[in-house]
Amino acid sequence: MQNKKAVLVYGRFPEFFEDGVRPLDIPECNPNNEKNWMGWTKKELEKKNFEVHCPQVPRVWEAPYSAWKKAIDEAGVDENTTLVGLSQGAGAIVKYIIQNNKKIKKLILVAPARHKPEYPEFYDFVINDDVRKLIEKGTTVFVSNDDWPDIVRGAESYADKLNGKLIRFEDRGHFSFLIPKFPELLEEILVSNDE
């Protein structure tokens, strides 16, 4: 039986919120915390005998792509891995599989950023047939229509270029970690790993 693995990569967040609070000081901002949807998904997958990693990027608010790549490398992505990326983390994982010609089990993008002028190194890639062939079980893209318009457009673009399934919500915003559970994500991961 093959090893089932999932790597869930969060997005970029600021060093300080507008009220002066540091996200790093808020336990729910940790992607491994079971009180947010990413940590909840990790816990649920581990119950199903998945190896799950939710890497944390040092100084994420200013980290270059190389720091994100290092965190993803350390998670040990292989052909049995479902890669999940939120926001800028989505751009990081798509670039990662392209740059490394990395075969994976499934790609899932959540509120994916596609173009951010202030971080061009995260989006300097082209998606073509060769990229789609690296993803054994295809791509699923989650987006909420009440997210920022550029995120909605980015989700549509990724779904189009990757021949992916686009799943829309009306009320999830940018899928913040204030959302405690994400059963639709869990289901997509489990279905793609059924033998």
How far does Cα 29 stand from its chain's mean position? 15
Q: Residues 38-82: pLDDT tens digits?
A: 999 999 999 999 999 999 999 999 999 999 999 999 999 999 999
How many residues can be counted in the chain? 195
Q: Residues 137-159: pLDDT tens digits?
A: 999 999 999 999 999 999 999 99
Residue 100 sits at φ, ψ, to 5 deg, of -100, 5
**DSSP readout, 7-66?**
EEE-----SS-TTS--GGG-GGGSTT-TTSHHHHHHHHHHHTT-EEE----TTTTT--HH
pTM of the model: 0.97
Closest C-alpha among 159, 83, 91, 90 to residue 124 = 91
Model confidence at 126: pLDDT above 60: yes
At 188, which helix (H) or strand (E)?
helix 183-192
Give the domain ranges of the chain. Answer: 5-192
Q: Which fold has domain 5-192?
A: Rossmann fold (3.40.50)
Q: How far apart are CA 107 and CA 90, in angstroms?
A: 9
Q: Residues 150-189: pLDDT tens digits?
A: 999 999 999 999 999 999 999 999 999 999 999 999 999 9
Percent of the chain with pLDDT over 70: 98
